[in-house]
Amino acid sequence: MTRPGQDDTGHGNSAKQRGNIYLAVFIVLFGLFILNVLLGKAGIQFGWDLPFLLGDVPEFLLLLVSAVFLMLAALRRERTQSGDDS
């Protein structure tokens, strides 16, 4: 029995796997963003001098790229659910 978006040969999973990869990249990038924010807050709170924190622009770019990967994962999931698997 096949699902929508999957043919008898099982090739429908490649688009879903790509969507899962996009989601994994989003999780890693967003985790780095959250870690940077929390370390920055801890540095302010406890007076730590952390030289490896991202500045304002790189932090924004990290958040932007993670949002792009979240959108790509959502679009890929929509495509696999609608059955258009190109």
Q: Which residues of 13-41 are buried (b: 16+ CB within 10 A; e: fewer)?
A: eebbeebeebbebbeebbeebeebeeeee
pTM: 0.74
pLDDT, tens digit, for every residue of 19-42?
A: 789 999 999 999 999 999 999 999
**Unique residue bearing structure tokens 């990967």:** 69
Say whether pLDDT at 11 is over 60. Answer: no
